[in-house]
Amino acid sequence: ETLRLSHNTGDATTWHKGAEKFGELLAEKTGGEIDVRVFPNAQLSGGDQMRQAEMVGRGALDLVVTSAINVTPLVPEMAVFSLPYLYSSYEQVDATTQGAPGQMLADILLEKGIVVLAWGENGFREVTNNIRPIRTPEDMQGLNMRVAGPMYIDVMNALGANPQQMQWGETMTALQQGVVDGQENPIGAVIIPQQVYEVQKYLTAWHYSYDPVFLGISRAKWDSYDADTQAHIRDAAQEAMAYQRQITRESTASGIEFLREKGMEVYEPTAEELEAFRAATKPAFDTWAAKVGEELVTAFQDAISAAN
């Protein structure tokens, strides 16, 4: 049987490579009985990235690879990952996604009909702009920033910038013509593949918000398999997403060099400078932590302090 997998990025991204890897491994483990066809660019949901998870939840699609931000309209608790300056290292990230806190969210997604098989990575979101290098929160004052969602609006407001919501399709021209001054996105997943470096001068690797990816299967599909097959599926998913995390981190690390070669001025803030950003965005953190729920945030913070 061929399962259909939907994800919302292009076919050259680490999401796609992870999804393809999952298909290969699954075919191998099941002796060719189950294989996977990957549909990039949210083609199966008519280009709507927000609806994919919901379609998997009601069993209309089999599999999905998507990121937490894309699922928040369906599962608001997923916003916990992207709280500003929740994380300061990959070790802390892994302590949550690969540990008990990740399981808490998997339980919530299960209620929506999605079985989370494994966690992957979209990456830390970094800021770019055309006006000046950003080293302190004061440097953000008055910049028109294109952002991806309601939480980032509050974060940008806390930093004194002017947030704008804009569809990605328009953002590149808007950056080029100066309708907006800057934007924020992960390096490996967006800034490099979408060629943001062609229209932006400065990048600050401020790691202000994290976005994980997950590979999920529809609960109806999952329940139709026996324990052996389920084990094969889960193993293939774990292995594929471990691979996806690894290539994402590698491409992010080499990406900074690549962006410098392309002429961007890249700034990597010190720990003290990051602390200033953390302090400045605290009001937004508090607002959104309250929305997500204290219990969940505490579980994340505990796992993070244990990882240090």
Partner 1 sequence: MGFLLRDAEKIICAVIFLGMTALGFANVVVRYGTNLSLAATEELLTNGFLLLTVFGGAIAARRGEHLAVTLVHDALPRALWKPLFLMSVLLTVGLLALSAWFSWQALTNLYGNGMRSYALGLPAWYYQAALPFGFALIIVRYIQHALEVLKGRAKDEIPDV
Partner 2 sequence: MFEALSDISAGTQMIVLFFLLMALRVPVAFALGLSAVYAMWRIGFGLELAGDLIAAGVTKFSLLAIPFFILAGTLMGTLGIAERMIRFFRVLIGTLPGGMGVVGTVVCLFWGAVSGSGPASVAAIGPMIIKGMEEDGYSRAYAAGLVCAGAALSIVIPPSIGLVIYGVIAEASISRLFIAAIVPGLFMGLAMLAVLPLATRGARPAGSPGLAALCPAPDPGLPYGRRLGKAFRESFWGLMTPVVILGGIYSGIFTPTEAALVATVYALAVGALAYGTLTLRGLYDALGDAAASSAVVMLVVAYASLFGWVVTVEDLVGSYSGALLGLSDNEWVILLVIMLILLLAGMFMDAVTVMFISLPIFMPVVRELGWDPVWFGVLVMVNLAIGLITPPVGINLYVAANVTRLPIERVAWGALPFLIASLVGLAVIAAVPSMSQFLVAWLN
Chain centre distance of CA 18: 14
DSSP H or E segment with residue 6: strand 2-7
Least distance from C-beta 74 to partner 2, angstroms? 13
* x/- track of binding to partner 1 for residues 21-60 (CB under 8 A): -----------------------------x---x--xx--
Q: Choose among 256, 125, 252: nearest CA to 182.
A: 125
- Pairing status of strand 35-39 against strand 63-67: unpaired
Contact by Cβ (8 Å): 121, 213: yes
Q: Does 19 bind partner 2 (CB under 8 A)?
A: no
Conformation bin of residue 42: beta by default, left when phi > 0, alpha when psi is -120 to 50: left
Smallest separation (angstroms) from partner 1 to the CB of 214: 18
Cα–Cα distance between 272 and 246 in angstroms, integer?
28
Least spacing, CB of residue 9 vs partner 1, in Å: 18
Please report, as residue ranges, which positions from 121 to 180 form the binding site for partner 2 (by CB under 8 A): 166-167, 169-170, 172-174, 176-179
Cα four-point dihedral sign 97, 99, 101, 106: positive
CB of 39 to partner 1, least distance (A): 20
Q: Pick the stretch among 2-10, 69-77, 96-104, 299-307 that binds partner 1 (CB under 8 A).
A: 69-77
CA distance 106 to 115: 7
Residues that bind partner 1 (CB under 8 A): 50, 54, 57-58, 73-74, 76, 112, 142, 144, 149-150, 153, 162-167
Residues that bind partner 2 (CB under 8 A): 4, 10-12, 39-41, 43-48, 51, 55, 58, 60-61, 166-167, 169-170, 172-174, 176-179, 193-195, 198-199
